[in-house]
Amino acid sequence: MSTVATQRNVEVEVPVNIALIKYWGKKDEDHIIPVNNSVSLNIDELFARTYVQCSYYDSMDSVSINNVTVDLTRNPRFLRCFDDYKASDMFAELCTFVQYARQLIQGHAMLYDSAGIVSKPQLSFQVSSTTNFPVGAGLASSAAGFAAIAFGIGKMFDLTMNEVSSLARIGSGSACRSVFGGLVEWEAGSEPSGADSFAKQLTSDKSWPELRAVVIVLDESEKKVSSSEGMRRSMDTSELLPYRAKEIVPNRIERLCEAFKAHDFEEFARITMADSNQFHAICLDTSPPLKYMSEASWQVVHAVEEFNSRGQIRAGYTFDAGPNACVFLQNEDVVPFLLQLSNYLTLPPTTMEDIENIAHVDIKEKANLCNAKNIVISGVGASPKVISNYD
């Protein structure tokens, strides 16, 4: 009887996803079960490239993100002795994730000795991940990272996509959406164990090729209140949160999906902006209030409103739990919108040069404007992909 290799390796690339209908609040913290369904799109040009190695009978686990290493063999209680809540919280999530991954793939990783006796090996994971976007600044960085690890493990052990999505969810809730391309819905499910809480792909990854996302990075620093902590506060104190989850979200998802499939941009943008606004209203309805958007964020809102005041809705903004913006447009409207945005923000020099060359205009810099650190123009809906498989 054949034996399996003592080591498996894969390198994958998984995009960030941006929620159009937001996930905010867990009805079960242990199983990462959300209070409502959510819908998202992957941003093609923002991704985590991740190398995953699985070894048998090696006791050392390690995770490195952008060259910062977390040693998973250390006791998380030890880290909590330090005044760094965010680090200990992330460490606990990583430990839970690896434990769940081991349980999930045991049936796919049997070893046989010379007598044909089956055994379940001790598995260890070594993960090295790099991102091309700021981590912890409200760009769903943890989602891309955990989705990449789950996707890599899935490829190594032939997991179903439901299993991959569930595994990603254990690391970071919204990560379960990044493992699919196209328009994606994360279903909260009804099982207490979370067995039916995973994402599903609603459209193909190329279903709206003219759609663009303009990601406007306004602040690259980590937010003061993490998404996990913010959700806990909102679940405990916001009266608006349960009303939205029960009365607003189901119909809003139905309308958004219909608009997307019909390429009805005005309705798509209108619903996306409404849900972003309501999400941040919940943050302000939380005690103490959560203020994720900055003055620069509001300048993006003003630019979009001005751009849309000329007869039809041609741009739609959304903000996750952070100051950075994502503005959806159709391809033909990207440059006109950036020209409009230059009246509200100081754009990066390279962006200014590109606009001037394409539009044949000379943009005059204005004083006392907030600065955009970076602007990324991207297609949407890309699927994760395997870069290299070393088996």
Q: Are residues 336 and 364 in the same domain?
A: yes
Per-residue buried b or exposed e for 64-102, using 16+ beta carbons within 10 Å of the residue's own CB:
bbeeeebebeeebeebeeeeeeeebbbbebbbebbebbb
Whether residues 180 and 232 share a domain: the answer is no
CATH number of the domain to which 168 belongs: 3.30.230.10
2: in domain: no
Stronger pLDDT, 103 or 211, i.e. the higher one: 211
Q: How confident is the model at residue 260 (pLDDT cuts 50, 70, 90)?
A: very high
How far apart, in Å, are the Cα atoms of 72 and each of 32, 77, 141, 259, 288?
Answer: 20, 12, 20, 44, 33
Do 273 and 255 have their domain in common?
A: yes
Asked whether residue 284 carries a pLDDT value surpassing 60, the answer given is yes
Cα(79)–Cα(166) distance, rounded to whole angstroms?
27
Q: Does residue 388 fall inside a structural domain?
A: no
Of 178, 205, 232, which residue constitutes the final position of a domain? 205
pLDDT at 104 (0 to 100): 66
Q: Domain with 275 in it: what CATH number?
A: 3.30.70.890
Residue 385 lies in a domain: no
Question: Is there a single domain that holds both residue 124 and residue 229?
Answer: no
- The pLDDT of residue 316 is 99
122 in the same domain as 66? yes
pLDDT at 229: 94
Domain boundary among 152, 171, 205: 205
Residue 197 lies in a domain: yes
Q: What is the mean pLDDT of residues 157-171?
A: 86
Structure tokens at 20: 């159009």
Q: Using CB atoms within 10 Å of the CB of residue 54, give its burial: 0 to 12 exposed, 13 to 18 middle, 19+ buried.
A: buried
Radius of gyration of the CA atoms of the chain, in A = 22
What's the pLDDT band for 88 if we cut at 50, 70, 90? very low
Instruction: Give the whole-angstrom CA distance, residue 126 versus residue 112.
Output: 23
State yes or no: pLDDT of 118 exceeds 70: no
pLDDT at position 123 is: 65
165, part of any domain? yes
State the total domains in the chain. Answer: 2
Mean pLDDT of the chain: 84
- The average pLDDT across 15-43 equals 95
**Is the pLDDT higher at 264 or at 150?**
264
In a domain? residue 78? yes
Out of 64-68, 176-180, 198-202, which region has the weakest mean confidence (pLDDT)? 64-68
Band of pLDDT at residue 56, cut at 50, 70 and 90: low
What tokens appear for 72 in the block? 């998973």
Helix axes 227-237, 265-285, angle to 10 degrees: 70
Residue 87 within a domain: yes
197 and 245 assigned to the same domain: no
Q: Which of 205, 231, 258 is the last residue of a domain?
A: 205
Average pLDDT over residues 23-41: 95
139 and 28 belong to one structural domain: yes
The reply to whether 286 and 357 lie within a common domain is yes
Instruction: Please give the residue that has the higher pLDDT: either 118 or 102.
Output: 102
Residues 38 and 21 in one domain: yes
pLDDT one-digit tens code per residue, 221-252: 888 898 889 999 999 999 999 999 999 999 99
Question: What is the pLDDT averaged over residues 130-145?
Answer: 67
The reported pLDDT for the residue numbered 11 is 95
Residue 386 lies in a domain: no
Range of the domain at 319: 211-379
CB-count exposure of residue 232 (10 Å: 0-12, 13-18, 19+): middle
What pLDDT was estimated at residue 69? 74
Q: Is 195 in the same domain as 111?
A: yes
Consecutive H or E run containing 315 = strand 315-318
Over residues 320-345, the pLDDT tens digits come to: 999 999 999 999 999 999 999 999 99
